[in-house]
A and B are shown apart, each in its own frame.
Chain A
Amino acid sequence: MNRAAWVRLGLIAAIILALELLCRIGVIDQLTMPPPSEILRDTIVLLASGSMNTAMLKTFLNVVIAFGAATIAGVGLGVAIHGQRRLRQGLEPLFATYYAIPVYAFYPLFIVLFGLGDAPQILIGFMLAVVAVIMNTLIGLDRVSRVLLKTARIHRLGPMRTALHITLPSAAPYLLTGVKLAVAYAFIGVIGAEFIMSNTGVGYEISFAYNNFDNATMYPLILLILVVSIAANSLLSRWEATLMRRRGYR
């Protein structure tokens, strides 16, 4: 680890210590937030009891489905759109304004259309994630060097082998950026939707615990979601950085 990473770790430790202190001396009262050490203990108790296993499994499964579908559809659509200049120009305004539109506003509509099951939640996660994948796929394909493609033609590589040996590796860092965003957006979408209205999942359990003043369940669940999403994001960021370096960007 470099110096910045150590300082970062120290900073986070200091913030947690400060919170602990503020909770212990009563500046932050017990009803608002229990001390971090108690949250940690509650988390271990909660995980050991296994009472949240079904909720966690369901949420993570939905995140994986939303993410997987968004990645496959996003790369597929990106490749399809890339060749069509007219279509791409036509979609330009949609891509540009897409993330300005509050996708959650469509959630009520999806509930009416699909019922209060998993489908609307997955769809929200998918909708948030897919456009990021499409946009990064397009950027990645744009950056594939012309010379490499010409070399492929000179060597008479078929379309499949050109894709495998040249296009895919060249575009990989950008594809990975899209994938990384897709993970984050799938999490945000699914858990947000569970939060707003649903009857299962971690998002629902958090809001249920909130409504019952059950801090011993709420804070551990919040902690879990934060840890999992930050861990997934930093793993992918590290991989992305490695790929970028190997490509000579940086």
Chain B
Amino acid sequence: MSRFHPFSWNGAVLIGVLLIGWQLLFEIAGENAMAPPIATFAYLLQLLATASFWSNVTATAAAFLFALIIALVLGLLIGFALGLHRFSAEVGEAILVSFYSVPKITLYPIVLLAFGIGMPAKIAFGAIHGVVPMAIFTMTAIRTLDPVLLKTAKVMRLAPWAVVRTIIVPSTLPEVFTGLRVSFSLTLIGTLLGEMFGSQRGLGYLLMTAIGLQNVRMIMAVTLLLVLFAASVSVVLIAIDRRLHRATG
């Protein structure tokens, strides 16, 4: 793992700088606006020992997991379908990219009206966020597939399944994985937004009630948990991503 050494060293320095900045900001902003790092970590640990907090965590986790699976599967299918056909890709790409740039939160009331408040709406909203990057990356991966490889397969008379297994999957994997990585973070954001706006459970809901009650400690602890989760998963995904891209050149 020595190759990752510089990255992790920089990461450690960065975390240190961020923590110091947080403490300094606390000294300036004062106790009514913020909680200091150590107290926030302590409060988070305290929260993690309570069952009611865990029920919110699992509610968010379940919605997020479902949304991610839907986004990934749907994105793969759309990306594959568009990528295989040149003209459909040309038509579809602009629509996907425009949709990517739209503030999708404005669509949330429609999602709520269609699904009603609760789990399905949260899942749908998370999936809406994650599906587009997955589709775009998959489509690009298929379109940039080296035609020589496919011709070779034809010459060697490989069965369709063998083509998929030995050519399409290995050569598109790095790009598709990048899509998965981006999709992961957007789905998380979508799920949380869904919980903040229309929900009775979950971490997003906890954040909203904490704002209402001016519960600064709770806001900071939940934010910290979310940032820790998102950042650490993303570090692992980036490491895998880089390895995959290096392996295929």
Interface positions of A (Cβ within 8 A of B): 3-5, 7-8, 11-12, 31-33, 89-94, 96-97, 99-106, 108-109, 111-113, 183-184, 187-188, 191-192, 195-197, 203, 206-207, 209-210, 218, 221-222, 225-226, 229-230, 233-234, 237
Say whether chain A's binding surface is mostly helix, strand, loop, or mixed. Answer: helix
- Which chain A residues lie closer than 8 Å to B13 at the CB level? 90
- Which chain B residues lie closer than 8 Å to A183 at the CB level? 101
Choose one: B32, B103, B188, B216; the contact of A102 (CB below 8 Å): B188
Q: Determine how close the nearest CB of chain B comes to the CB of A13; give it in whole angstroms.
A: 13
- Which chain B residues lie closer than 8 Å to A207 at the CB level? 109, 197
Choose one: A31, A101, A230; the contact of B230 (CB below 8 Å): A101
B152-192 Cβ-contact flags toward A at 8 Å (1 or 0): 00000000000000000000000000000010110011001
Query: From residue 1 to 54 of chain B, which have CB atoms closer than 8 A to chain A?
Result: 6-7, 10-11, 13-14, 29, 32-34
| Chain A CB within 8 A of B148 CB | no
Kindly state the separation between the CA atoms of A195 and B107 in the bound complex, as whole angstroms. Answer: 11
Contacts A197-B211, A237-B97 given; indicate if A218 touches B219 (C-beta within 8 A): no
Contacts A11-B91, A191-B103, A222-B107 given; indicate if A109 touches B219 (C-beta within 8 A): yes
What is the chain B residue whose CB lies nearest that of A181?
A: B101
| Chain A CB within 8 A of B247 CB | no
What is the chain B residue whose CB lies nearest that of A104?
A: B193
> Is the pair A203, B219 in contact by a Cβ cutoff of 8 Å?
no
| Chain A CB within 8 A of B137 CB | no
Kindly state the separation between the CA atoms of A94 and B14 in the bound complex, as whole angstroms. Answer: 8
Contacts A108-B207, A234-B98 given; indicate if A225 touches B103 (C-beta within 8 A): yes
- Which chain A residues lie closer than 8 Å to B84 at the CB level? none
9 A-B pairs in the complex with CB atoms less than 8 angstroms apart? A8-B95, A12-B95, A32-B110, A92-B10, A100-B230, A112-B34, A206-B109, A218-B109, A230-B102
> Is the pair A108, B211 in contact by a Cβ cutoff of 8 Å?
yes
| Chain A CB within 8 A of B233 CB | yes
What is the chain A residue whose CB lies nearest that of B242?
A: A96
B215-245 Cβ-contact flags toward A at 8 Å (1 or 0): 0100110110011001101110010000000
> Is the pair B110, A4 in contact by a Cβ cutoff of 8 Å?
no
Kindly state the separation between the CA atoms of A191 and B95 in the bound complex, as whole angstroms. Answer: 21
> Is the pair A104, B192 in contact by a Cβ cutoff of 8 Å?
yes
Kindly state the separation between the CA atoms of A55 and B112 in the bound complex, as whole angstroms. Answer: 23
> Is the pair A105, B192 in contact by a Cβ cutoff of 8 Å?
yes
> Is the pair B114, A32 in contact by a Cβ cutoff of 8 Å?
yes
> Is the pair B231, A100 in contact by a Cβ cutoff of 8 Å?
yes
